[in-house]
Amino acid sequence: MSQYGLSDCPVKVQAQINRLMQELKTRLARNLLGIYFHGSLATNCFNPLRSDLDLLVVTRLGMSLETKREIAESLLENSRRPSPIEISFLRREDLSPWRHPTPFDFHYSEDWRARFERDLADGNWETWNDVQHCDDDLAAHITVTNHRGLCLYGLPKADVFPNVPEQDFAASILGDIQSANFGLNVILQFPVYVVLNVCRTFAYLQTGRVMSKEEGGVWGLQNFPGQFHDVIKGALTEYRECGNESALEKEQLIEFATFMRREIERALIK
């Protein structure tokens, strides 16, 4: 399976991006400061059969309930046509002074689809502005945007996003890895994601470089003991070709998880 960046992605994906951008510009109008890509499309390893469209949107002010409802309806229609969309909306004032976990005004991903459909059907969308939400993952998303992201529309990313403290970035990308169930539940449920994310996490701790999942896997092959190369190669193959994640051996995954958790904890102490 070929991998792509923004400039050469499939025509249907480009059309989806254009629809999304036009909708956001129309709905947000002068409140819109910028639209930014992070993730695989920004790092030229987008797989149409596996990858999401990962975006951050920055606004001057928080959105009204009506605007959120309209955008939610649009995202429900546009996501998965053909690629899943994961998008966070941030108010500029929530980026300075910097806070971690970081507040966000609105968020959509396919994991939230059923909730959005229920809220729109039963009127619960009218409560969307009642609570301020925060997200641990935004420190990682913003750091990747700063280092590797693409501005689709609006202000240059350097004029919008702050420099994220290294400890917050590390905490953001290490959340799953440091959880009590990391060695078993998480890696067995999402083996490709976890193996490659562990590789790029450790690569960051060793080199300070922000890598894509694929780049992290390649780095792992060059730097980890040979006994784990089959696991990393398997994850890379399935990430690139959208193969069968169950082909990865359970015992090897657990052994790799145990080793990497220990190595990452050592690196954090130094």
Domain residue ranges of the chain, discontinuous segments joined by +: 6-164, 174-269
Distance of CA 265 to the CA centre of its chain: 23
Cα–Cα distances in angstroms (integers) from residue 195 to residues 117, 136, 231, in the given order: 33, 20, 8
> CA–CA separation, 21 vs 62, rounded Å?
18
Per-residue pLDDT tens digits of the chain, which is 270 residues long: 578 999 999 999 999 999 999 999 999 999 999 999 999 999 999 999 889 999 999 999 999 999 999 999 999 999 999 999 999 999 999 999 999 999 999 999 999 999 999 999 999 999 999 999 999 999 999 999 999 999 999 999 999 999 999 888 888 877 766 665 554 667 778 888 889 988 998 998 899 899 999 999 999 999 999 999 999 999 999 888 865 555 678 889 889 988 988 888 788 776
> Please, are residues 230 and 212 in contact by the beta-carbon 8 Å criterion?
no
End-to-end C-alpha distance for the chain, whole angstroms: 40
At residue 254, the pLDDT reads 86
> CA–CA separation, 228 vs 209, rounded Å?
22
Cα–Cα distances in angstroms (integers) from residue 49 to residues 117, 137, 194, 241, 244, in the given order: 24, 23, 18, 8, 12
CB atoms within 10 A of CB 158: 10
Residue owning tokens 């702050």: 162
Residue owning tokens 């990962």: 54
At residue 177, the pLDDT reads 62
